[in-house]
Amino acid sequence: MKVLKFGGTSVANAQNIKLVLDIVQKQAHQEQLIVVVSALSKVTDLLQLASQKAASNDESYKEIVAEIEKKHLDTLKDFIPVGAQSGLLSHVKRIINHLETLLDGCFLLGELSPRTADTILSFGELLSSYIIAEALKQKLPTAGYKDSRELIKTNNNFGKAAVNFDQTNQLIVAYFASIDSPVVVMPGFIASTTDGINTTLGRGGSDYTAAILAGALEVAELEIWTDVNGMFTANPRIVKQAQPIATISYQEAMELSHFGAKVLYPPTIQPVLRKNIPILIKNTFEPEAEGTFISNNAVANGNPVKGISHIDNISLITLEGPGMIGVLGSSKRLFETLSQANVNVIFITQASSEHSICIGILNSDANVAEEAINKAFEIEIAQNKVAPCIVEKDLCIIALVGENMKNHQGLSGKMFSTLGKNNVNIRAIAQGASERNISAVINERDVKKALNTLHERFFEENTKQLNLFVMGVGNVGEKFIDQIKQQKKFLKENLKINLRVIALANSRKMLFDEEGIDLKSWQASLDQGQKADQQGFIQQVKELNLRNSIFVDITANESVSQTYAQYLRESVAVVTCNKIACSSAFDNYKNLKSLSRRYNAPFLFETNVGAGLPIIDTVKNLVASGDKVNKIQAVLSGSLNFIFNNFDANNSFHDVVKEAGVQGFTEPDPKIDLSGIDVARKILILIRESGYKMEIEDIENESFLPAECMATTNNEEFFKSLTQYASHFEGILAEANAKDSRLKFVAQFEDGKASVGLQFIPKDHPFYNLEGKDNIVLFYTDRYVDQPLLIKGAGAGAAVTASGIFADVIRIGNV
């Protein structure tokens, strides 16, 4: 014999009920079945609403009754031949009439007693079980029906009655010993007192009904049929990567169901646990799926954590004060007070000093609990021995669950460090002596990020999902996106990094997609996006609150650089090729570094100097290893190097600068490069990363541009001025040729002083043969004295800059 229970979604409508009937018919050929059914989907909620409206003298309860009647009559008509419908329809209408009479009474009296409420709520299961039994008889004429109220006996604690197992078990065993029907359909959730008064077993009680029957008859297996493929490693609606759990112990299942795993009602396990009857969670809509097998012999899969669950809408109440230290009975008084106020305690933690006790309860109980506790301890509060209780609302409890967690060291550390890295603030912690459960209270707004972060850490083979918010999709930005698209599969398979671009923005539009933007058609999608708004962009990043978030700035915009602190404070990493922030006021530079450390949010800007060259990283490693940078000589502008390498008697200065812009070597405003400010920013960043304090004003900038060129206000005027002053540039070139030298724009730092400017480089200098758009840096340190540490390579161009940004992103993924 086997017991099958089908939940509300499984019997939501005629189409779903047909699936249920197919499952029952198929199994009925193999063994005797008891089929327990819930009310049709949403009907219990409708009954509850109707009773509340009736009791508050709102006549709209009649409309709800009409809706309930239509729902059941339509369902019945789908299964029963027209010729056989008359008597069955009359039976359903008699039940509905009885329901309406009860509600009319509530309307006239203006009240709803717990006893009446139980009777009204019972109609959902009575109607659904009757209809399903009649539908089943069309396929299996010998199928039977039994009213659960005749077999399951309880006390009169209406709303959540306690079962009298001695009497109930006798009645169940006696009844099933007297019949030989291959299938018996029974309503779940409902029972009755010894006197025959209707009671209910609590919401989710249909699971409990099935377990009571299974335990009494000691069946081979209890099957719970629902709308998912078993119990999951986390809520699949919140964690998309959640996986079904193949096997799990009773204890683990109880922990997960207590902490919000909706597929199983917590009391369900008790009647079958005592008899060691396995439970199988199956999906009505995918009956061939494996499901979850719950027993005493759960198979270990090497992972000590079986699942991660949570409870929403939690309040934390803290009672503390010196008057509690060493005082016997404080905890007893607190919990007695809560019990008398009918407040259920979900979470408990107490300081070892006995100075405070912290409990977690539902938000809906918070006001009642606060009032009751303050009243119970009013004398101590008046004497300042105890403070009025502190109430924090809108919290959530998350829990790691696993039977074998006690045999693995460091799980708590992994849990809390993982949450900490993503700026999830932990308000309270509890861990039982069995170590089967580690619970933490967090802000409700962080629950999605916390669950996904923990799931990634414990269940996804160390695959790390990085969520990118990209601002700036010009030449470099476009190359960056192309590189992500090209390398996405490789990164996931080889580096266990899953890259998702969540947002894109340019100066006109911005686009967000929480599931990840399709990089095959991002341009078209961005064109259809919402109007660009820098603060709106930041706000959406905050509201999404995704784990491992990275803001990628691929602009040269000062206002964008001024937003970095806002991202870092939210534990959003910042990757940028924008040099303005790190070359701004020294205090701002230090503050960004400090925020990065404080909020555990990487702040990476390797492409600020040398595009894709590992220049900044090299400086960091030198300093970290105890070396000291004493002198820097560098050609740091790939664009200027390209310009002066191509400027000759055959190519005018104007034309070469134009070509540099076409090839993407200069900034959109080429004056930024030619003025020397870009190089000054770069050497300043290297100086600061070497451990020195310096401002941009301290760097001597020896400009080679005429003042009139510098005074232009747009690109058209600027290029016109280059033509007007062509003789000036030709004169510089002639002087270089006369000295048998080459023109290089050089940055220098030594003895606390820095400068940038155009220099004549002789043939014997390392910079002389620097070709194309290459950069070169010479570091003279305590260790590199006679021969400097030299870094040389391409220092400009969209592709190499994009690759440097990409490398910073990957570096974060490997942390």
Which of the residues are catalytic? 682
Distance CA(589)–CA(611), nearest Å, equals: 20
Q: Which of 680, 693, 685 is nearest to 756 (CA)?
A: 680
Measuring CA to CA, how many Å separate 367 from each of 147, 313, 363? 40, 13, 8
SS3 613: coil
For residue 100 the two structure tokens come to 């309406």
Q: Provide DSSP, 348-374.
A: EEE-TTSSEEEEEEEGGGHHHHHHHHH
Q: How many CB atoms neighbour CB 470 within 10 A?
A: 27
3-state secondary structure 712-731: CCCHHHHHHHHHHCHHHHHH
With tokens 């900044």, the residue in question is 616
Distances in Å between the Cα of 343 and the Cα atoms of 158, 173, 350, 432, 608 are: 17, 37, 18, 21, 58
Q: How far apart are CA 744 and CA 45, in angstroms?
A: 79
CA atoms lying within 13 Å on the CB side of residue 114: 10
Q: How far apart are CA 198 and CA 540, in angstroms?
A: 51
Judge whether 316 and 441 are in contact, CB under 8 Å.
yes
**Residue indicated by tokens 């967090």:** 442
In 594-635 the beta strands, taken as DSSP E runs, fall at: 603-604, 629-635
- Look up residue 302 and give its DSSP letter: S
CB proximity list for 441: less than 8 A, separation 6 or greater: 314, 316, 347, 360, 395, 396, 397, 426, 427, 428, 429
Residue 245: DSSP 8-state: -
Sheet with 774-781: strands ordered across: 699-702, 753-761, 742-750, 629-635, 774-781, 789-794
| Cβ neighbours, 10 Å, residue 477 | 24
Nearest 5°: the CA angle 780, 781, 784 is 75
Specify whether the CB–CB gap between 773 and 665 falls below 8 A: yes
